[in-house]
Amino acid sequence: MSLLTLSLIFANIILLVLGQTLWKLGLDKVGFSFTLSGIIKTIFTPLVFLGLCVYIVATVIWFYVLSKTEISTAYPLQSLCYVLAALVGIFVFRENVSAVKWIGLFMISAGAFLISRG
């Protein structure tokens, strides 16, 4: 896998977590109602809408990545989203992470490292 492809995978990971973070920040402000008007209101909330735009960019990057590498390599590396999202949860949203979650996050990181080497 080329350095460009690997870099784009990591850019994709960052963008996906950024998009989720923007969604969470937006939803914390406006809430969510599972009705047509509630969905439309939510989508056009600035932070949620920005998160959608970030996801569009991430998807275009992902298209490129999939065209250049095996999905069996690229997709497992994306599991690092879970690790980065947990860190965002801790530092941005002040969430508690149990010891069991830390072990799981370590296992995900170790697996991603092994996949990136193979």
DSSP secondary structure string for all residues of 30-47: H---SSHHHHHHHHTSHH
Question: Mapping DSSP to helix (H, G, I), strand (E, B) and coil, where does residue 92 land?
Answer: coil
Is 0.85 surpassed by the pTM of this model?
Answer: yes
Closest CA to 4 of 79, 53, 67: 67
Residue 72 CB neighbours (<10 A) = 9
Euclidean distance between CA atoms 101 and 49, whole angstroms: 30
pLDDT digit string (tens) for 12-57?
Answer: 999 999 999 999 999 999 889 899 999 999 999 999 999 999 999 9
Residue 39 is part of which domain span? 3-117
Euclidean distance between CA atoms 89 and 98, whole angstroms: 12
**Which structure tokens are listed for 72?**
């069996």
**How many domains is the chain partitioned into structurally?**
1
The pLDDT assigned to 118 comes to 67
